[in-house]
Each structure stands twice: as structure tokens, then as C-alpha cells.
Amino acid sequence: MKKITITILIILALSGFFIISLWYGSKLPKDINATEEKIFSIEKGQSFFQIADNLEEEGLIKNSLYFKAYVLLEGHSRSLQAGEYFLSPSMSLPQIVQKIVSGDTASITVTIPEGFTVKQIEERLGFDLPGENLEGFLFPDTYRFPLNISGQEAVDRMKENFDRKLTEEMKEEIEKQGKTIFEIVTMASLIEREVRTLEDKKLVSGVLWKRLEIGMPLQVDATIVYITGKQTTRVSLQDLQIDSPYNTYKYRGLPVGPICNPGLDSIIAAIYPEESQYWYYLSAPDGITHFSRNLQEHNIAKAKYLR
């Protein structure tokens, strides 16, 4: 009887030690003062035993046994997801396990401003984007991409975003007007690069659609800047003579395609133009748009605001 009691006490003591050890091992990070993060990779098909050993080898946890025991007790042995993760020795086991179970993989946050061209988007992402006719359809937004996202995956994400933003109501209105989505996006890209506010964009949209209807050249400076690639809004007389299908001074009608990737306000303005008595407009250096009813008023505005 005495031996049984001693045995029970020993088992209880060992169990208590194990529980305390597990608590200590799981709650306290390896290095609470660590500030750096490391990329930790989990391959498809890896067991949680391999993951635990790799975490210890990478210096992210104190002991792989703690990780294995914690994962088993929490019932997460089959829930650890493959991928790349930002982990730090300052994280506790529950924090590390939760991140891997939830699939919170390493990512980068990238903001694509409204009006960026495909070339500018590629420069920001740091890699080329595959595919044709992308200009205009890579929706500008803030994206959270996986760390090693491919060019095709980035294109798919941005195009899917564009499709979500263009509602069924908007598509029906475009069809009702006898226009195509491509024409609307092309117009929206001109508006995007010309003016800033939604109110001005709708007025400019009205002006440009009116010009198209009567066969008047659009004469949009932004198309010339797109051709030259110059980092300026100033357009020279020599630039206006460039023989390009994007030259809206030389050729009537819309250019052959979008000149940038417009935001939602510009797309809305292209679909829902505001009628007015204006036929001309100019954007002053301070960002204010000045509208004119005729060429005489427009020339006066140019002399006044474009010195």
C-alpha cells in the first residue's frame, strides 16, 4: 500500500512538473526582447513533428517537445498550413501555432495609386506583369499580396477587383448607352489623368463625350504625356505633331486604348457624364479646373492661369 501511494505521488509530481514545464514552455517566448522577424517555410506534406524540429533549428522556439505537446493537446496536429510565415523568437507558442493554423502567411502590402500605368505598377511591384491589354483594367487599390506572388497572380487579383467594382447596374447603363466597357475605361483613363474631383470629372466627361459626338478632336494633353513619357503636364507644339494613335490632337475619336488604370470615380464619371454648356476646360497648376463655353473664353483662361 505504501509503495502504491509513493508511486501515485511520484506520478502526480511528474505530471505537475510536466504541466508547469509545458505552461512555461508555451507561454514564454524564447527571447522576449527579440525584434527581428524571420521567414519560416512549411512545405506541403510536412508533419507537425518536422515543423517543430525546424522551428527549433531556426531558433524560433525553445524546445520542439513543447511545440509538439502543445499542438497535440490543442488538437492542431492536422491543422498546420503550408506556406511562408513571418515569425519571431519573441512570439509565444500559442501565437506561433495560431498564425500557422490560421494560414496567416507572410505578405506584402502594396498601394497602387489611381492613374498608374502598367509600367508604373510593374516598377512598384518589382516584376513584369504577363498578358496583353492590361492597361485600364488593373484596378488601383491597396493590396495584400503573398510574399512570393507571381506576376500572373497579381494580374488576376487586380482584374478580379476591377470586375467587382464594375457593378451590374453600371454594366447595364453602359449597354443602354450603346457603348462598350473598353470605351468607358478608355474615357475614364483620360479623365483620371486630367482632373481631380468627382464633380470636375463628370463635367470633363460631358465635354469629351460631346466632342466625340460632333467629331471634334478630344485634344487631351494627358494622351500626349502618355506618348512621350515625360514627367510633366506641359505639352510642346512639337509633341502635338507626334504620329501616334494615342495623339488626340492629331486623330479624332478615342485613343486606341486606355492611357492609365483609372479609379472608381473616373469610371463613374465616364458612365454618368454631367451635361453643361462647356466645350473647353483647363487644369491650372493649383489643381483647380476652369471650364469655358467657347474657344475665346478658353484662350482667355489659358492666358490667365497658364503663365
Residue showing cell 482632373: 195
Say yes or no: 133 and 175 in one domain. Answer: no
Among 57, 84, 101, which residue terminates a domain? Answer: 101
pLDDT at residue 231 is higher than 90 = no
pTM summary value = 0.83
Q: Measured at the alpha carbon of residue 217, what is the angle toward residues 211 and 223, in degrees to the nearest 5?
A: 110
185-201, pLDDT tens digit by residue? 999 999 999 999 999 99
147-159, pLDDT tens digit by residue? 889 999 999 999 9
Q: Which domain holds residue 240?
A: 166-305
Say yes or no: 153 and 180 in one domain. Answer: no
Say yes or no: 189 and 268 in one domain. Answer: yes
Residue 3 lies in a domain: no
Among 101, 117, 138, which residue terminates a domain? Answer: 101
80-120, pLDDT tens digit by residue? 999 999 999 999 999 999 999 999 999 999 999 999 999 99
Q: Is 292 helix (H, G, I), strand (E, B) or coil?
A: strand
- Cα gap 21→42, rounded to integer Å: 26
> Do 136 and 258 meet the contact criterion of CB atoms below 8 Å apart?
yes
Residue 5 lies in a domain: no
Say yes or no: 154 and 177 in one domain. Answer: no
Total number of domains in the chain: 3
> Do 254 and 212 meet the contact criterion of CB atoms below 8 Å apart?
yes
Say yes or no: 189 and 284 in one domain. Answer: yes
